Amino acid sequence: MTVPLQVAEISKSFARKSVLTNISLAVPGGSLVGIVGENGVGKSTLLKIIVGAIRPDSGSVTRAGSAGYCPQEPELFEELTVLENFMLYAAAHGLPRDVWKKRADDLLGKLSFRQYEHSMVKTLSGGTRQKLNLAIALLQDPDVLVLDEPYAAFDWQTYLKFWELAEELRGIGKSLLIVSHLVYDKQKFDQIYELRSGSVERTQ
């Protein structure tokens, strides 16, 4: 089985306080992997290391293929519209206009926020911002999706749509790594890792 994402012996400390110690995990192709743990155990730090936002003190991350990252707090250009945000992130990936327009249109429909495509991000509700935050991660059709609490601000309908989308992506061979402080739907995951006191343990 191919392993598009491999994390090997990652350690990270902040101001001499150890947050992560020798974390290793693998995300196989076409799988849905969850990372759970209480608040403050270092879940978001681990994800930031995985996507390259911060540097680990030791260890390595190996990615085969492209990765899409959805941060916990929406990281968007507030003064730009939804479509303009898509345009800018599409420019980052070097996507041609017809490709990203089609992809954005598809995501606007799937996540049910097409009516906001010309609205500025600063005027959007928390849930709609989170939809855009997630859609940006999906824009380039990545091989691996790294999602940090992606459904925290979603209403029930959107939450269900999120899982439909996740299942669909897994079905076409994409890998998803989802961080949450709570996992309501354990049966939806192929693997679950629990972060506790800086170390990780596979619980499912």
Partner 1 sequence: MTRVLTALKLACLEIVRNRTALLLILVLPGLFETLIYVTTPNRVVSFDLPSLGAEESIDVSARAEAFVFMAVVAVAFIAGFAGLTLMQGSIRAQKRLVLNGFPIYQLFLSRLLALLLLIALVSVYTGCIVEAIIHSDRFAGIVTGLALTGAVYGAYGLLIGALWKRSLESVLSIVLLTNIDVGWLQNPIFYTEATNRAVIHYLPGYFPSQVAMVSAFTEASIANATLRAALYFLVLLLTAGAFAYRKLRAFA
Q: Can you give the binding site for partner 1, defined by CB under 8 A?
A: 49, 51-55, 61, 63, 69, 71, 73, 75-80, 84, 87-89, 91-94, 120, 136, 140
Residue 16 burial by Cβ neighbours in a 10 Å radius (0-12, 13-18, 19+): exposed
DSSP code, position 187: G
> Least Å distance between CB 63 and partner 1?
7
Neighbours of 4 (CB within 10 A): 23
Contact 46, 201 (CB under 8 A): no
Please say which residue, 26 or 87, places its beta carbon nearer to partner 1.
Answer: 87
The residue among 188, 111, 105 whose CA lies nearest residue 157 is 111
User: Pseudo-torsion of CA 123, 178, 12, 66, nearest 10°?
Assistant: -90
> Least Å distance between CB 133 and partner 1?
9
- Cα distances from 163 to residues 11, 189, 199, in angstroms, run 31, 11, 28
Strand ranges across the sheet with 17-27: 17-27, 5-14, 58-63
